[in-house]
């Protein structure tokens, strides 16, 4: 029997990049995958790839920072699958890039909120089901930018740093009630999040999104007597 057979995994930001690759790999392990993002075409395409490979996939269009939309997505997922065993809080984006002195409050706050509020809202919606069933796993996809200072990335980095403390507090609150909470902090990964502009590091040196997905899958497959609390994953040449 496959390791995750019978389990249901909700993956935010599952339309492309790390989230899509994680969806594919968790489905290969037997999980039923529920993908959430804002772009329907990408969700459809990823779900189709999972199904063509013999896996089970569903999707919901929602912005993770929209509580009502996320409530519908979580309820919809539960309506189809009946349970939620795994949550991968992966949705995120980079905006408000530039020096603090040049930033605009609206864009800075939007970036902070988009990357942090969704993590909180999605967790809050899924957690009661995990606690009621007495088991569950949550992986928060954060960033090395949440632990080290990169000039020009203040809003994104503050969101990821807050996400790390959120993860630590959540783990303290629920770990003795059967829910394992973990964080992965990748360095540069070759995805669309970098855009095409100047200053993008050499993509050939970045980590492949499939590799991050493989590591997330391994975290979720960690034997039950242990937990990988926080995992820093860098390109083999280090921070690019």
Ligand X SMILES: NC(=O)c1ccc[n+]([C@@H]2O[C@H](COP(=O)([O-])OP(=O)(O)OC[C@H]3O[C@@H](n4cnc5c(N)ncnc54)[C@H](OP(=O)(O)O)[C@@H]3O)[C@@H](O)[C@H]2O)c1
Residues that bind ligand X (CB under 6 A): 12-13, 15-19, 37-39, 42, 63-65, 90-93, 114, 118, 141, 143, 186, 188-189, 191-193, 209
Residue of 59, 60, 156, 166 marked active site = 156
Q: How far is the CB of 37 from ligand X (least distance, A)?
A: 4
Residue among 80 and 239 whose Cβ is closer to ligand X = 239
Residue among 147 and 178 whose Cβ is closer to ligand X = 147
Nearest to 180 by CA among 209, 221, 210: 221
- 50 Cβ neighbours under 8 A, 6+ residues apart: 23, 24, 27, 33, 56, 57
> Could you tell me how far CA 218 lies from the centroid of its own chain?
15
Q: How far is the CB of 154 from ligand X (least distance, A)?
A: 14
**Contact present, 47 and 19 (Cβ < 8 Å):** no
Q: How far is the CB of 149 from ligand X (least distance, A)?
A: 15
Compute the distance between CA of residue 185 and CA of residue 195 in angstroms, rounded to an integer.
20
Q: How far is the CB of 219 from ligand X (least distance, A)?
A: 14
Contacts 24+ apart (CB under 8 A), 158-165: 158/112, 159/92, 159/111, 159/112, 159/113, 159/114, 159/115, 159/116, 160/115, 160/185, 162/116, 163/115, 163/116, 163/119, 164/230
Residue among 55 and 92 whose Cβ is closer to ligand X = 92
The DSSP code for 235 is -
Residue among 72 and 135 whose Cβ is closer to ligand X = 72
Active-site residue 156, yes or no? yes
**Residues annotated catalytic, as ranges:** 156
């Amino acid at each position: 029997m496959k390791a995750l057979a019978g389990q249901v995994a909700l993956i935010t930001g599952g339309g492309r990049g790390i989230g899509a690759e994680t969806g594919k790999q968790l489905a290969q392990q037997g999980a039923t995958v529920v993908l959430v993002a804002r772009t329907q075409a990408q969700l459809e395409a990823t779900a189709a790839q999972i199904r063509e490979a013999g896996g089970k996939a569903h999707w919901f269009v929602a912005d993770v920072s929209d509580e009502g939309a996320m409530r519908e997505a979580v309820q919809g997922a539960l309506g189809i699958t009946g349970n939620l065993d795994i949550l991968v809080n992966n949705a995120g984006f980079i905006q408000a890039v530039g020096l603090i002195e040049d930033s605009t409050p609206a864009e800075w706050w939007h970036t902070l909120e988009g990357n942090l509020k969704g993590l909180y809202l999605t967790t809050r919606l899924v957690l009661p089901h995990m606690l009621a069933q007495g088991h569950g796993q949550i992986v928060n996809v954060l960033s090395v930018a949440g632990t080290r200072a990169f000039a020009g990335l203040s809003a994104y980095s503050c969101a990821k740093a807050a996400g790390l403390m959120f993860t630590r507090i959540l783990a303290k609150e629920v770990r003795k009630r059967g829910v394992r909470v973990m964080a992965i902090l990748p360095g540069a990964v070759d995805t669309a999040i970098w855009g095409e502009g100047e200053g993008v590091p050499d993509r050939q040196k970045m980590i492949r999104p499939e590799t991050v997905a493989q590591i997330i899958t391994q975290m979720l497959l960690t034997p039950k007597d242990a937990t990988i609390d926080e995992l820093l994953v860098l390109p083999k040449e280090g921070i690019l």
